[in-house]
Amino acid sequence: MPSVKFIAHDGTESEVHVAAGTNVMHAAVDNGVRGILADCGGACSCATCHCYVDEAWQERIGSPDEVEEQMLDFVMELQPNSRLSCQIVVDDSLDGLVIRLPASQI
């Protein structure tokens, strides 16, 4: 199972293992990783699952689609590597993915 490392704003690291096909939001929420609210449950309509893809993984993860891009307008502290974690699906090629979490979702 691929692993995902979450790095909180204060530097706290959490590593979880998830089944391929799990999105990054569920990887966090289902494993008790704090910092992602995911109010809409993954429907790409709340922007409370904002995360930053670690620079080393940014090219592999790719860019948000148009709908996600529009939702990203609502996040605080938008950065070039901002993504909505519910829109990133983990597969075996992403084993070791590093995700940084913002200080706040709202």
Could you say which of 84, 88, 90, 99 contacts ligand FES (CB under 6 A)? 84
Closest to ligand FES by CB, 11 vs 43, is: 43
Binding mask 37-76 for ligand FES (x = CB under 6 A): -xxx-xxxxxxxx---------------------x-----
Binding to ligand FES in span 1-30, by CB under 6 A: 25
For every residue of 16-77, which 3-state class applies, written as one string?
EECCCCCEHHHHHHCCCCCCCCCCCCCCCCCCCCEEEECHHHHHHHCCCCHHHHHHHCCCCC
93 close to 3: Cβ distance less than 8 angstroms: no
- Chain contacts with ligand FES (rule: CB under 6 A): 25, 38-40, 42-49, 71, 84, 86
